[in-house]
Amino acid sequence: MASEDILVFTTIGDRDMAEEQISEMLEEGIIVSGTIFPEVELVYLWEGKITVDTENKILLKAKADKYDAIEAYIMKHHPYIAPEIIRMDVSFGSPAYKAFVADKIKKNS
């Protein structure tokens, strides 16, 4: 059985844009919260050379039924041609935290 709760990971280079996009998704009610891990290093192979860049890793917490809206939002607003979008089905941990998340969703609906 799939979880009702999800985490969605994406990345974006510009910190202000990351905050703006999280704020817009919160206002649209498609996420519960977003966390920005600032200036993480991305190491990858590009044209045969090891390349190191910095970007902001974004962690979005949401209900599973909002995933399609989250993906559509990211695809529409993200500056990358093919942005990273990773979905993980999860259980939001402790009963107290799960109740807190449910209450936030209820208040924001």
- The string of DSSP letters for 47-60 reads TTEEEEEEEEEEEE
To the nearest whole percent, how much of the chain has pLDDT over 90?
74
pLDDT of residue 103: 75
Tell whether the torsion through CA atoms of 71, 77, 81 and 84 is positive or negative.
negative
Please tell me the predicted confidence (pLDDT) of residue 100: 75
